[in-house]
Structure 1
Amino acid sequence: MIHPALAPYANLAVYTAMGLFTVTLVCFALYLAARTRPLSAAPTAAADTRTPVAAGRHPATDRLAVATGDSPPVTGGDDAPSDSRRARQIAAVALNLTYLGAACLLAAVVLRGITVMRPPNGNMYEFTIAASAAAATVYAALARSRHWEWLGAFVTGLILAALMAAVLLFYTGAAQLLPALQSYWLGIHVTIAICAVGFFTIAFPLSLLQLAQRRRNTRPTMAGHRLLAVVPDAETLERAAYGMNIVGFILWTFTLITGAIWAQEAWGAYWQWDPKEVWTFIVWIVFAAHLHGRATAGWQSKRATYIALAGYVAVVANFTLVNLSSTFAGMHNYSGM
């Protein structure tokens, strides 16, 4: 049974979240701009009211190091950015908007589920909305507990892009699923995949920033030097991305397992070499290689980071190219995912 009267409210929640994340992205960008000013340019009154920071460190790195149990690494220098009162005010506004945006996306998922009276993850539109909600919720929790305001512009940018794709490219009206998809495994298998994508999405900008920080260390005059001075050092970013990828990999492993069990019930075999199955396995292999390389002595963390980035590209390809291209036509085509 479908309740069409609720469908407009689910869509309204998505549009509201898009508006909130647009403003949030601007606020986080303003926060980074406020933080990239030299220490000497910060208001002295605000600086006098804060606890002195040791030379060569900046607050974002110190807070993240405390949260992970590590000694705060030395970053910056005389040009280390200041956490002025204005920057803190902008960050507070951005974080509150992030919480509201995440709440709107969660509300959209719930309302969509009530509208169609099933788990709201049966097509590309619903998957994108739910994955965006997962990424927003994970980031909101981390931003609150670890003060990851410096990551906000990158995460909200990805979420906003995903929501625009969902509305403009993947939108599907509220409808019942085909009989083959009407299984309790839909709620288990796809929901686990959605949570995995949420963690992978947070790890992706962390890995990009890590590579940029390493390049900054070898080229101090490169463009974006002051912007990169705001974020933690490369080693701290690498550990954070590694933690996100570990959680995502564990969830993706359960995605593979539950998918195989559902395939056996639906098609009579655990594995059919369906393009969707193959690409899901490719994603698992790539992230397994990343985690193995990261834990192997003698491996450069830079190589492991490139593998992690390739894994996220494979996740996006698995969701877009495999679903939309006739080249990858297979047994999953009827699902819209």
Structure 2
Amino acid sequence: MPIDPVLAAYSDRFYLGAVAVYVLAMFLHAFEYVGSTRPVRAKALVGAGAEASAVDAVEDTANDPAGADGPSTPKRRSRGDTCGRMAVAVTIVGLLVHLGAIVLRGLATERWPLGNMYEFVSAICFAAVVCWLVVLKKSPSLRPVGAFVLPPVFILMFLGGTVLYAQAAPVVPALQSYWLAIHVTTVTIASGLLMVAGVASILYLLVKFGRAGKLAAKLPPIDALDRLAYRVTVVGFPIYTFAVIAGAIWAESAWGRFWGWDPKETVAFVAWVVYAAYLHARATSGWRTTGAPWINVLGFATIVFNLFFINMVVAGLHSYAGLG
């Protein structure tokens, strides 16, 4: 299978460009966080639609010196609010550049661009950013959380472009199957979503136990963080479940058995059990706000452990590709 070096080079440049744009968005979110004066913790949890719009109106009123009953004058956005809006716009630009890197990689190799750890990590970050932008579309009041969502995206993409980088090349024969597009893509999407949910649960615990300090005052209400983690996990968990089933079907086709307790398979199953336990705990009285967030963080840690330690340290049937 021929490799187009020109397209591969442009893919790498787009990847670096996406990292640079995400860094800019990350700093803009940080400036928003520092300069924000909105009383976001004065309200209880808000959802999408009318409730979110109502809270945005309250926040705009808080930023308007004239107040709600003042004269009808154009409202001036605070510096933090301006930076936050710019951060979202820059994130969208970064996502488009990131998409270009993935598409060009696939065109350069003439295969589905999920054949190694570099491509897999890139796709996970892409899924996480898409998830985050969808969340913002439905609940704009959660925007301050972006200051904590983008750093892990940057860290993963930095590692992908350095430690995990792989030259554009064909995949080994064992991966030349349509199941690569089905199984690995669904694992990628689920991992990206669960990363956002994990960040939300970590912030929830930091606020709940007073570890966030002054930063907690500018985060969304603690209930909003809990609901964000739950809603994203509710979407990500079925996708992850399908990915595990698809992997078992592919394993039967490639290796003659559905399940062999390979290290990758085992940890993937453990992660599935942990997330199932989280959803059960989230619906159980007494566990919803105590044990459930800890379980969600454990699930996120298991996903990260499976991504790095199992792929790069432990030998197994998945070692030849470092795939999820």
User: Smaller-chain TM-score range?
Assistant: 0.7 to 0.9
Distance 1:70 1:82, change over 3 A: closer
User: 1:237, CA displacement in angstroms?
Assistant: 1.2
CA distance in 2 between partners of 1:12 and 1:158 (Å):
21
Q: Does 1:329 align with 2:315?
A: yes
In the superposition, the TM-score normalised over structure 2's length comes to 0.87
Counterpart among 57, 60, 65 of residue 42 in structure 2: 57
Encode CA deviations 1:197-229: one digit per residue, 9 max, x unaligned: 11111112211121122224xxxxx7623x212
Q: Does 1:224 align with 2:213?
A: yes
CA distance in 1 between partners of 2:299 and 2:320 (Å):
26
The residue that corresponds to 1:49 in the other structure is none
The residue that corresponds to 1:76 in the other structure is none
User: 1:305, CA displacement in angstroms?
Assistant: 0.6
CA distance in 2 between partners of 1:139 and 1:284 (Å):
22
CA distance in 2 between partners of 1:295 and 1:285 (Å):
16
| Superposition pairs of residues 142-161 of structure 1, within 5 angstroms | 142-147=135-140, 148-161=142-155
SS in 2 for 1:333: coil
User: 1:10, CA displacement in angstroms?
Assistant: 0.5
The residue that corresponds to 2:59 in the other structure is none
Q: Does 1:256 align with 2:240?
A: no
The residue that corresponds to 1:111 in the other structure is 104
Q: Which 5+ residue runs of structure 2 have no aligned equivalent? A: 56-61, 65-76
Distance 1:124 1:38, change over 3 A: closer
SS in 2 for 1:299: coil
Moved more, 116-125 or 229-238: 229-238
The residue that corresponds to 2:19 in the other structure is 18
User: 1:92, CA displacement in angstroms?
Assistant: 1.6
Question: Which residue identity does 1:271 align to in structure 2?
Answer: W
User: 1:145, CA displacement in angstroms?
Assistant: 3.2
In the superposition, the TM-score normalised over structure 1's length comes to 0.84
Distance 1:262 1:124, change over 3 A: same
Distance 1:38 1:270, change over 3 A: closer
| Superposed CA RMSD | 2.4
Could you tell me the percent identity over the aligned residues? Answer: 36
User: 1:300, CA displacement in angstroms?
Assistant: 4.5
The residue that corresponds to 1:303 in the other structure is 291
Encode CA deviations 1:9-65: one digit per residue, 9 max, x unaligned: 100111001111111111100001111x487xxxxxxxxxxxxx9xx735xx67x43
Q: Does 1:199 align with 2:193?
A: yes
User: 1:69, CA displacement in angstroms?
Assistant: 6.1
Distance 1:5 1:314, change over 3 A: same
The residue that corresponds to 1:234 in the other structure is 222
CA distance in 1 between partners of 2:212 and 2:88 (Å):
27
CA distance in 2 between partners of 1:169 and 1:197 (Å):
20
Question: Which residue identity does 1:259 align to in structure 2?
Answer: G
Aligned partners of 1:66 and 1:72 also within 8 Å? no
Q: Does 1:247 align with 2:241?
A: no
Moved more, 177-186 or 234-243: 234-243
User: 1:277, CA displacement in angstroms?
Assistant: 0.6
CA distance in 2 between partners of 1:269 and 1:276 (Å):
15
Distance 1:68 1:259, change over 3 A: farther
Name the count of aligned residue pairs.
304
User: 1:182, CA displacement in angstroms?
Assistant: 0.2
Question: Which residue identity does 2:102 align to in structure 1?
Answer: V
Question: Which residue identity does 1:131 align to in structure 2?
Answer: I
Aligned partners of 1:102 and 1:140 also within 8 Å? no
Encode CA deviations 1:218-259: one digit per residue, 9 max, x unaligned: xxxx7623x212222222211110111111111110111000
SS in 2 for 1:320: helix
CA distance in 2 between partners of 1:72 and 1:297 (Å):
30
CA distance in 2 between partners of 1:223 and 1:201 (Å):
20
CA distance in 1 between partners of 2:99 and 2:10 (Å):
13
CA distance in 2 between partners of 1:66 and 1:316 (Å):
30
Aligned partners of 2:106 and 2:113 also within 8 Å? yes
Distance 1:223 1:276, change over 3 A: closer
Question: Which residue identity does 1:65 align to in structure 2?
Answer: G
Encode CA deviations 1:46-104: one digit per residue, 9 max, x unaligned: xxxxxxx9xx735xx67x4354969999xxxxxxx858422221112111110011111
Question: Which residue identity does 1:211 align to in structure 2?
Answer: L
